[in-house]
Structure 1
Amino acid sequence: MPAKLSGGHTASVLSVDVQLQTGQVVSGGEGGELCVWSKDGLLKEKVSRPNTDCTSVVFSRENPNLIYAAFGEEVLVLDHSRIQEPVHVFHSNQDEINQVKLNENEHFLAACDDAGEVKVFGLQNRKEFKTLRLKHTNICSTVVFRPGYPWELISGGLDCRLVHWDFSKPKCLNQFNMQELHATPGDSPYFINPPFLHHLAVSPNGSSLACALENGQIPILNSSQKNLQPKYALFGHSQGVSQVHFLTDDILLTGGNDSVVIQWDLSKADLYQPGAVYMNGDGAAASPEEEKCLAITQLCNVSTYTHTNKINWMSSYTTDGDRYLYVADQTSDVSLIHLS
């Protein structure tokens, strides 16, 4: 497999996804460029919609030919066998869309936007199903459906809030302020940068929810029961975290503005035992909450991969027993990292 997918984009790549059945890759970027790549890294198709950005792309798991892509305020449904003409266009968002996400059975698609809203569309009748609003007071940057709970999703935004929804009613079930969730070591970036919520990921079995924060933290919540419960935070990045991505139920990948990808094994958090003495960034003894997070960080950190640029998006692919990570960054290429 090639180390880079090159020659398709002319500006920064903002989003990337892999079709797990075929190994094909789709990437979206600035200038309204969407590219479809073969498993061998060859550019197969390209769509350009000038005067907008392609901010989010996702392959259908049910139909390998279908791609859902956000261009400005619209979500395009594309069939890459005839990609130039959309199969359908959803146009209900009032501001630029930041992420699109499919639920487990692909009956619904969620699109969160700069107006702080989440639109949920029914894919069978191709109509808007619900609008989730008034809980985010700033840009809603990320959304994810909750596995095992067919009417629930979780959103996060630049108001530092994580909101847990029942989108059938719609109703807010719970919300968390990231500024209050965990004690933070007193060194940069944890103390200085605000905990804007950039990205969310849920483990395949639905037991863990990971959050990517601008202050470099990665809060982990227990989502195995009805109500979400904060567990601990990981401290591994020296700048804001832009991406969280589960490889398995326990293996988590995080990427950040420090151009670093970290691989974590969350199962090792169970080895934590209180009592160790840790120092925070000011040289003082850490508080019990800091001590717990710092200890679990050391236990769970498996490996670190140094990248060349700030990371915009990540998507993984496994073939012949080898795991790879596609990385979209501030360049016009999509990079490929071979994971150990």
Structure 2
Amino acid sequence: MTTLSLSGGHTGSVLCVDASPDGSYIASGAENGEICLWKRDGTLVHKLVQDQNDCTSVFLSRVKENILYSAVGDTVYVYDLLNFQNPIDTFKYNEEEINQIQLGQNETFLAACDDSGQVKIINLQEKNIFKTLRRKHTNICSSVCFHPRKPWDIFTGGMDCNLIHWDFSRPKCKNQFNMQELQDTPLEMDAYMVNPPFIHHLTASPDGKFLAVALENGQVSLFDMSRKNIFECFTLLAHAHGASQVHFISDSRLVSGGNDSVIALWDINNPNELADVCENLPSNGHPQPLQQRDVNYTEVCKLGQITLTSKINWLKPFVCAGENFIAVANQSSSLTVLPLNLL
């Protein structure tokens, strides 16, 4: 299959996208509260306008058939796709605009991070607020990610450059990292690399080993989650401008998208080099500056890339009929679906 354009649904920039587990449906959200549901072949199935606030995040349930979660302004709306015009549940717990919603592995809890720096954890079974994660982010909380193997662990990242590892059952901060302190700019890189490492997006590998962090300085930082205290083990020098998205497509492969309009494919399954990185940790468990090592690792890991026409707002890899695809939302009013083998 060649590139497919999903058009005719949105009137403004598409801000977010998700795909159903089997790839049969794609959901997208855009400016001015527009939410669209598409068939895999590009047919527009449903469209609604919830309100005049932007739809900043959508999530198609992996557990409950025909359920869509969306964030519009400061509110989470839940829809049954068989009756798409009116929400079946509404959760208005956030104080400011929500930047991302994410659901845990069994979809008991939904996390919604917002511009106030807070994260609301909603119990979807009891339909009430479970916990609020607050006071750790001093600026916008832009992304949230559940640990795939530890049901009470969650990660948040923000425009204050802080990555925070929580036990949200208490709630308690387990680890906290300031990416400005961890990041070390290779001397040969362009001036863009001195941009502050704001955190735009987080993703965890399905096996729970790695956490990937997309940063405004164009880098994608990889953290090892296999130990009690997570640590940054290496960095991919990924994009010529901010890295806006990063997603695992398997335990060792991931895709990143950036404000340079580039989508890149990576394979981090290089055990010898990764072991060499981890063996050189000092006794305090934190890595030394990885300038040359990061450059080498980028060269080893990068499998390919493709350049589109505008910067990437959101990516969603998915599998359909045994083939890998990526749904892409950029600054246009259309979605693009790419076969992974184009990268």
TM bucket normalised to smaller: over 0.9
- Mapped partners of 1:138, 1:273: distance in 2: 35
Deviation at 1:189, TM superposition (A): 4.6
- Describe the shift of the 1:200–1:22 C-alpha distance in structure 2 as closer, same or farther (beyond 3 A): closer
- Aligned-partner Cα distance in 2 for 1:273–1:80: 46
Q: Spell out the pairing of 1:238-277 with structure 2 (5 A cutoff).
A: 238-268=240-270, 270-271=272-273
Greater mean alpha carbon deviation, residues 84-93 or residues 46-55: 46-55
Q: Does 1:7 align with 2:11?
A: no
- 1:82-117: CA deviations, max 9, x gaps? 011101000010000000000001100000000000
1:56 match? 57
Q: 1:111 to 1:288 in 2, by over 3 A?
A: closer
1:289, distance to aligned residue in structure 2 (A) = 1.8
**Structure 1 contact 158–197 (Cα < 8 Å) conserved:** yes
Cα distance per residue 1:302-335 (max 9 Å; x no partner): 1111111100001112123321100000000000
Q: Secondary structure at the match of 1:233?
A: strand
> What corresponds to 1:85 in structure 2?
86
TM-score, reference length from structure 2 = 0.93
Match of 2:280 in 1: none
- Structure 1 partner of 2:47: 46
Is the CA contact 2:184–2:291 (under 8 Å) kept in the aligned structure 1?
yes
Contact 1:54 1:71 in 2 (8 A): yes
Does the 8 Å contact 2:154/2:168 carry over to 1?
Answer: yes
Taking a change above 3 Å as real, the CA distance of residues 272 and 78 of structure 1, as seen in their structure-2 partners, is closer
Q: Which residue of 2 aligns with 1:317?
A: 318
Q: Which residue of 2 aligns with 1:144?
A: 145
Q: What does residue 157 of structure 1 align with? A: 158
Residues 143 and 154 in structure 1, CA contact (< 8 A), matched pair in contact too: yes
1:269/1:300 contact within 8 Å kept: no
Q: Give, in angstroms, the shift of residue 165 of structure 1.
A: 0.5
Q: Aligned to 2:233, which of 231, 236, 244?
A: 231
State the alpha-carbon separation in 2 of the partners of residues 244 and 159 from structure 1.
Answer: 19
Instruction: List aligned pairs for 1:12-27, cutoff 5 A.
Output: 12-21=13-22, 23-27=24-28
2:174 corresponds to which residue? 173
Residues 269 and 242 (structure 1), Cα distance of their counterparts in 2 relative to 1, 3 Å cut: farther
Q: What is the alpha-carbon distance in structure 2 between the residues aligned to residue 269 and residue 255 of structure 1? A: 25
Unaligned runs of 5+ in 1: 275-286
Give every structure 1 segment of 4 or more consecutive aligned residues whose post-TM-superposition deviation is greater than 4 Å: none
Aligned to 1:279: none
The answer (yes or no) to whether the contact 1:221–1:230 under 8 Å persists in 2 is yes
Task: Specify the alignment match of 1:277 in structure 2.
Answer: none
Where does the alignment leave 5 or more consecutive residues of structure 2 unmatched? 277-287
The question of whether the paired residues in 2 share the 8 Å contact of 1:101 and 1:143 is answered with: yes
Aligned residues: 329
TM-score (ref. length: structure 1): 0.93
Give the Å deviation of 1:204: 0.5
Note the aligned Cα RMSD (angstroms). 1.7
Aligned residue for 2:296, secondary structure, equals helix
- Following superposition, the deviation at residue 48 of structure 1 comes to 0.3
Aligned to 2:222: 220
